[in-house]
Structure formats: C-alpha cells, structure tokens
Amino acid sequence: MVRRAILLLLLATVQGQAADGLSFRRDVMPILFRAGCNQGTCHGSSRGKDGFSLSLFGYNPKGDYFRLTREIIGRRVNVAAPEESLLLLKATGAVPHTGGARFSRDSEYYKTLVEWIRQGAPDDAGQVPEAVEITLSPTHLLFQGQAKPVQTTVMARYSDGTKRDVTSLALFYSNNPDTATIDKNGLVQAVGRGDGYVFARFSRFTIGSEVIVLPPAAGYKWSKPPVHNYIDTLVHDRLQKLQLLPSALADDDTFIRRVYLDLTGAPPNSEQYRRFAKDTHAKKRARLIDDLLRSPEFTDLSTGLWAESVRLMGGGYTPTATDLKAAEAYYQWIRKQISQNRPFDEFVYDQVTASGSNLRDGPTNLYTMLVHDVRFKPKAFAADFSQLFLGIQIQCAECHNHPFDRWTMDDYYGFVSFFTGITRKPGAEPREFYIFNKRRAAPSRHKVDGRPMVATVLGGEGPAAADLDSRVALARWLTSPQNGLFARNIANRLWARFFHRGLVEPVDDLRISNPPTNGPLLEELARRFVKYGFDQRALIRDICNSRTYQLASKPNATNKLDDRQFSRARLRRLRADVLLDSIIKVTEWDRPFRNFPKGTRAVQFYPRTPGDTSQPLWFDDFLKTFGRSSRNSICSCETRGEPTLSQTLHMVVGKNITNAINAGLVTRLLERGDGPRALIEELFIRCLSRKPTAEEMAAMLELVAEDVKEKAPYEDILWSLLNSTEFSFNH
C-alpha cells in the first residue's frame, strides 16, 4: 500500500509536465502503433490479449493512458525503476511475451519509452497538436529491368502547423506483393511485372504511392488501335504506361451475344442474330446498343439488379417479413422509374426521403427491406446507406477509427444520427404501417464518451437547418452534383456490371487503401455521369460503345496476365438468373416460378411467399444452386460466381435442363422440315450466337447420320451445347 501511494504521488506530480518533455500522444502511442501492440491481433482486439487491452490503433488515448499507468500501478509502467516496467520487459522479450520481442533495448523505440517513464510517465496537459495529414513520397515509383530498391518517406503535418518525419513510426504494406513489396522500414522492392500500390499508415491516416514494374525496355511498340470515345483514350493511356497492348476487336458473333447478355439478360434468338448479321451499316453496333437500351428486357434486368441491391423480398405475416403487397409495390415503383429513365439522383432522393404507407407508397419500403425487423436500427441503416449509395463501409468505424480509411468514430456516429428518428406506426389493417421521421429525435451517442453527435454527412457538416427532416438534408447532400462519393460509386458499379470487375473492387468498398486500377477513368466516368444529369442509360451507352468493351477475350503476348487494366475482355460466368433466362429463351421453355404469374423471367423473380407459410419458398432451386444473392445483406459478395460440383450435376442430370430439353423445341424444328445441317446450325445460333465450325458440323452430322428424322440425336446436341463452358460464360 505504501509503494502504491508513493507511485500515485509520483504520477500525480508529473501531470502537466508533458510540454517540457515527451508527449504520450505524440511520442509514446506511435511506438505502440508501430510495434503492433494496439492491432486487432494483439492488445487492440475487443477483448485485449493476456489481460491487457488497448484501443484499436490508438483511437482512445485517454483510456490507453489509464490502462498503461493506473490500471495496475507500478507494474506495466514503473516510474521508480523504469527499466523494470513490464511494458519494456515484454516488448524486448526479457520476460515471456505472447507477441515475442517487438524491438531491442538499443532501438530508438526503447530509448523513447524508457525516457518517458523516467520523466514520470506524464499524460499530456491541455490540447495536444494532432496529426491532420500524412504524405508518402515518392508518390509514383517506376521500376524497369533490374532497378534498385527505393526508400519511401512519410511526413506528418500537425494541427499546429508543424511537420515531422514519421517513417520510423509508420506501418507499411503492399496491395499487390506479386508486383512490389515494401518492408517495415518503407523500402520498396520490385518483384514482377504489373502495377499496384504501397501504403503507409500513421495515426488514423492511410496513404498510398503507385508502383509500376516493367520488363527491360526492348521491343515494345504501341499498336495505335482506334479510339471510339474518351473511355478508350484513358484506358489506352494506362496500357501504354504499363507496356500492354489491347487485344483485337471482337467479331460480330461475340459482340451480339455479349451485349444481349449484358443489356437484356439473355442471348439473342436466331431471328435477332440473323438480322444483325445481315446489317451492313457502319454503325450497326451502336444502333443495336440503342435498341437494347430502349427494350423492356433492359428495364427488367436493371430493375432486378436494383431490387437485389436493396434486398427486396416479400413474405407473410412473420414479424421480420415485409408484406408481399408492400414488396410488390416497391418493385413496380422501381420498374416504372427505370422504364421512364428517371435521373438516378432523383430516383435515390425519392427513396431516401420516402414517407407514407408501406402498401401504397412503394419507395418507403427501402426502409423495410434494408432492415428486416420490426425495430428500426439506426446503425444498420447507416451501414447499409453508406455501403449502397457511397460504396463506403462506414460500419468499420463503429467501435474504433476505420483501420484502412479516413473515417473516424465521430464520422460514424454523426452519420448514424441521420437515422435515429425513423420510425413506423400501425395503419388501417394489420399488414399496413406508415414510415415517417421524427424531426426532433435524440441523436446517437458516441461509444467512447457518450456525447451526443449532431447528424453530419461523411467528410462534411450537419443538416442545413435544425427543423429540417434529417433525411432530406442527407438526400440533398447524397445526390448533389458536388458529391463525388456518390457519382464515383454509381459509375464504378455500372462499370463492374459490364466488365465483371469494378475499377475499384469490391464495388462496395471504396477507400483510400483500395484505390482504383485506373483513377483518371473513374473520375471521368463520374464527371460524365453528373454532366448527363445522372442518366444511367447515357453512361451505359458510352461504356458499351467503347472499343474497350468490344475487345476480344483472346490475349496477346503482352496482356495474357493482365486482369486489372481491361486490355481484353474477361471471361465472365453468367449470373444465376441470366443463366436460367438464357436456358429458357434458347429452348422456348415455359418455366413456371412459384407464386409468380406465367411468363415471369428469372431476373424478375424475387423471394416471396403469400400468406403465413411455415416453410416459405425463399429461393428457386436453380437460382440458389448457382449463387444468386440470398439477400441477407446488401454486400456485393452475396452474389456468388464460383463454380461448384452441385452446379455441374444440376446441369448434367438436373430437372431444369431435362425439362428445358423436353419442352419441345427439337420437335418443332423437325416439323419445319429443315435438313440436318439447318437444324444443327439453328441450335448453335440459339445457344452460342454463332454458326458451327466445319469440324463441329462434321461431328454433329456424324452423330445424326443414322437417325436424321429422330429427335434424340438433336436433343443430345442441344444438351451438350447447354452444358458447354461457352454457353455458361460471357466472353
């Protein structure tokens, strides 16, 4: 007790002396950060480690100071005998430590910590200048041939205007170690051809420098391919920097299948194929794109994609379900807006600000879909809104500052306050309720100190007026032409729709530490989107008309390893609903979807079950097997594209393929009286949007030679085409 009192007295006498000595926040905490002590795998985890807890990446200095100096007096920090402090003994490996030795006794880290303890382990007095920005130099690194490693430097700028070299206190990593690595001291080493970024993190900031690694300069010559629009200009500029050559232009057969699948969700039928093949107009591709953008099939596919992104589903009277009538009201509202080509900013604005009956006012169901619960949860709304509309996973800042982006806990709880007033009240019947927003709802409270947080947009200010509906203020900022976050997010998602990879990937994880593969292109797409008045069709038209979109998938010698710079078309597995609709269209199968009217397409289907059903049919068996989104969250990862053994078995012996083949297509074609060659050609055009090669035709004719009028051989051909890799991929 006497020793404890003496130590308390010693600690008390040094309060306020930090100005004359070392600073806990500026000198000590960065060492804990650099040594990894406050990382999630160590003492920064939610439960700490080995009985000692620190705030993750140091977001709570006050709490960390208490736990280091006061929680166990004289043990972790011993001001009477600094070298005996457990903090130093553990960090240098002098006593057993789960994390091992973090630095040596002769390091600058040790010297700083021991000196701070000798000074009495003081806390900081008054306001301490904090880091407000960091820079990493050089900002661009180019390696060619046997280039030497390059040392990077991290500089921090503080709120009092001072600057400091913090290279020795920063953490470093590479997002593409196959191209370049960076060691713990910031030394960058080229590994292999390609591009990527190396990052430095200090305090709550992360910053990156671009790295390009090229082979020895020999023999590369730009091929000067034609440019269709600004997209090609920016892609070609990037390819030249990386010494890549784009593949050749795709032929008409490949193009028509690709654009039909991407814009309508199914391949062209034989009549559509032949009409395009006969067209000799120089701009026939552009005209086809315009026709498809005006088609009801484009509206159906686009409606289905948005419905999936907002988790649209309907069910019976279970407590967490959205009523079927309400879900259908929302679906039909979405379809009407897309059919009318409503500007996307207005489309989003109406959903964010929606109030009224869930049964009659469709867009109000944005709030019932995102949170499938009778209790509206502001934190869940904040997470979903930021991820869906901005591509930002703000939920990572709920319990600590975002570990890989600029968002703090203040940002998070300020954003949550936009949703604390959203509530519902019963309507005239059990299924009905009204969504509205309480204008004077209590704001959210900060997790650390409990202070109320004014509703504040990410990276900006709070609502314009205290009496303004917080959602109106949010929607105005969200859809503003000046809000680059919104425009970049939607532009990136549209790009990913047609290339199966966003310029930022995943598409819902836009952050400083996940930069775009072609930053100028993303910025220009976003700028054009705003310039077009948020017209999605206009931006899609640009994308599909670009030469970049129309490239062949066959690689050349320079781009065979490229999977980031769009130098060739990517082989893309068809989405589950698009694959099913393709099977249906090819075979003219009148496939039913339970609880939906006859003629419903797979892209129009959404999970729903009328009435109170004990075992609701949430998923179509085919769609579930082939990875359609379960709609358990808005994460883009909900839609799966990985092949599985179950999918193979389903295509080979499953009832869907069997029923599709038995739908009578071959019988109807035989009744037309066409010969074997014409019938085989028809099957190839329907399934693959091309005619068979001479070798393929010879093999097929040999198969049907003995039974030219029997349907079985032709059904076997149809089965093999539907099971081909070429059919299940867009290429």
List CB contacts of 176: < 8 A, sequence separation 6 or more. Answer: 194, 195, 196, 197, 211
> Look-up: residue for tokens 């080979």?
652
> Look-up: residue for tokens 């921090």?
156
The first and second tokens of residue 697, run together, are: 């035709």
| Torsion on CA atoms 40, 46, 51, 55, rounded to nearest 10 | 70
Looking at this protein, which amino acid is placed at residue 714? Y
The first and second tokens of residue 713, run together, are: 């051989």
Q: How confident is the model at residue 496 (pLDDT cuts 50, 70, 90)?
A: very high
Helices 484-499 and 536-545, packing angle to 10 deg? 50
Q: What predicted TM-score, i.e. pTM, was given to this entire model?
A: 0.90
Residues 379-388, mean pLDDT to the nearest whole number = 92
Q: Is the pLDDT assigned to residue 724 strictly greater than 90?
A: yes
Q: How far apart are CA 244 and CA 139, in angstroms?
A: 22
The CATH number of the structural domain formed by 131-214 is 2.60.40.1080
CA 652 to chain centroid, in Å, comes to 33
Name the residue among 339, 341, 330 with its Cα closest to residue 536.
341
Residues 461-476, mean pLDDT to the nearest whole number = 78
Q: How far apart are CA 376 and CA 473, in angstroms?
A: 20
List CB contacts of 639: < 8 A, sequence separation 6 or more. Answer: 308, 575, 627, 628, 629
Q: How confident is the model at residue 627 (pLDDT cuts 50, 70, 90)?
A: confident
Q: How far apart are CA 304 and CA 496, in angstroms?
A: 16
Q: Are 276 and 265 in contact (CB under 8 A)?
A: no
Helix ranges restricted to H, 461-535 = 470-478, 484-499, 519-531
- What string of DSSP letters covers 615-646? S---S-HHHHHTT----SSS-GGGS-----HH
Residues 218-230, mean pLDDT to the nearest whole number = 92
Q: How far apart are CA 580 and CA 75, in angstroms?
A: 66
Give the residue, 425 or 270, on which the prediction is more confident. 270
Classify 542 in phi/psi space as left (phi over 0), alpha (psi -120 to 50) or beta: alpha
Name the residue among 379, 366, 440 with its Cα closest to residue 409.
379
Residues 89-96, mean pLDDT to the nearest whole number = 91
State which of 464-468, 501-505, 672-676 shows the largest mean pLDDT: 501-505
The partner residues of 95 in beta bridges, in order of sequence, read none
Indicate the domain borders of the chain. Answer: 2-118, 131-214, 343-478, 664-730
Q: Is the pLDDT assigned to residue 701 strictly greater than 60?
A: yes
Give CA separation, 556 vs 221, 244, 561, in Å: 13, 9, 9
Q: Is the pLDDT assigned to residue 129 strictly greater than 50?
A: yes
Range with lowest mean pLDDT among 377-381, 478-482, 501-505, 679-683:
377-381
Range with lowest mean pLDDT among 20-24, 152-156, 211-215, 465-469:
465-469
Return the half-sphere exposure (C-beta side, CA atoms, 13 A cut-off) of residue 408. 15
User: Torsions phi, psi of 452, nearest 5?
Assistant: -70, 140
